[in-house]
Amino acid sequence: MNSSDFNKSPVHSDRVFATTSWSMVIKATRENDENAGAALNDLCETYWYPLYAFARRKGHERSAAEDLTQSFFAFLLEKDRLARADENRGRFRTFLLTSFTNFMTNEWRSEQALKRGGGEPVLSLDFETADKKYSVSPGDDITPEKIFERTWAMALLNQTLLQVKEHYHQTGKGELFDEIQVFLVGTSKASYKEIAERLKMREGAIKVAVHRLRERYGEQLRMQIARTLDDPTQVDDELKRLFEALGN
């Protein structure tokens, strides 16, 4: 799988799953919409792990990285915080990493009251799973910035897969999805014939189903990327950077 597979996939608004767009967060903030915080919360719930990995690679132990990540979101989701931010927010991942880096440098000492146990968590973050994921991260030669980019890209791909899976299961095609999802990875050695026999379908029908799955996944990935941008025309550039972060 590479970026060229998705360059021609249009972003159709009529097929969008329930998502929150970064552009919507910006608009809501500028209009003092009370839903801005909830919308930002939705994005943060999905993409918090790259910040945790960034903090770990910066040299923070697990407990400190947990505190930093949780406290940062309490800081970020504070009322009017975005309204006081730079108007040129750009990409959500850039905004998030820049804000987190500044927080670690300038705000950490003043936010000690928000440490774990000092108040209710603002997000339900699964740090146990996060630590296991981090333990199998690339070696020490990768920089904190690169591990952030890589884990961000993985979060996008995983979220996309979950959304496509949900669609197939909701439309009564869950068994088909579970069988053919392996073809989303170009190196899969799965057999169309074997899957066709298990599902009691023709081999040609399986090939068509795989083609449609790849189309839907590519389309959904582009929509998932678009929701983290304030300018939808940047999708192709962001898609290219995503695959560069993964090493293609």
Task: Quote the pLDDT of residue 122.
Answer: 57
The answer to whether 36 touches 57, Cβ cutoff 8 Å, is: no
Task: Quote the pLDDT of residue 21.
Answer: 77
Under the banding of pLDDT at 50, 70 and 90, the label for residue 80 is low
The answer to whether 129 touches 35, Cβ cutoff 8 Å, is: no
Task: Quote the pLDDT of residue 220.
Answer: 94
Each residue's pLDDT tens digit, 140-165: 578 999 999 999 999 999 999 999 99
Rounded CA-CA distance 76/227 in Å is 19
25 lies in which domain range?
3-245
Rounded CA-CA distance 68/76 in Å is 12
Average pLDDT over the chain, rounded to an integer: 80
pTM reported for the whole predicted model: 0.78
The residue ranges of DSSP E strands in the chain, in sequence order, are none
For 75-92, letters b (16+ CB in 10 Å) and e give: bbbeeeebeeeeeebebb
Answer yes or no: is pLDDT of 16 > 60: no
Q: Which of 64-68, 86-90, 109-113, 129-133 has the lowest mean pLDDT?
A: 109-113
Q: How many structural domains compose the chain?
A: 1
| Percentage of residues of the chain with pLDDT beyond 90 | 38
Taking each helix axis as running N to C, give the angle between helix 36-47 and helix 49-57, from 0 to 180 degrees, rounded to the nearest 10.
Answer: 60
Task: Quote the pLDDT of residue 17.
Answer: 34
Q: Which of 161-170, 180-189, 214-223 has the lowest mean pLDDT?
A: 180-189
DSSP, res 151:
H
Task: Quote the pLDDT of residue 76.
Answer: 81
Rounded CA-CA distance 61/53 in Å is 11
Q: Is 61 left (phi over 0), alpha (psi -120 to 50) or beta?
A: beta
Of 41, 227, 217, 245, nearest in space to 151 by CA: 245
| CB-based burial label for 22 (10 Å; 0-12, 13-18, 19+) | buried
Counting every residue written for the chain, the total comes to 248
Task: Quote the pLDDT of residue 5.
Answer: 54
Each residue's pLDDT tens digit, 96-139: 899 899 888 876 655 554 454 445 555 666 667 777 776 656 66
Task: Quote the pLDDT of residue 89.
Answer: 66
Under the banding of pLDDT at 50, 70 and 90, the label for residue 8 is very low
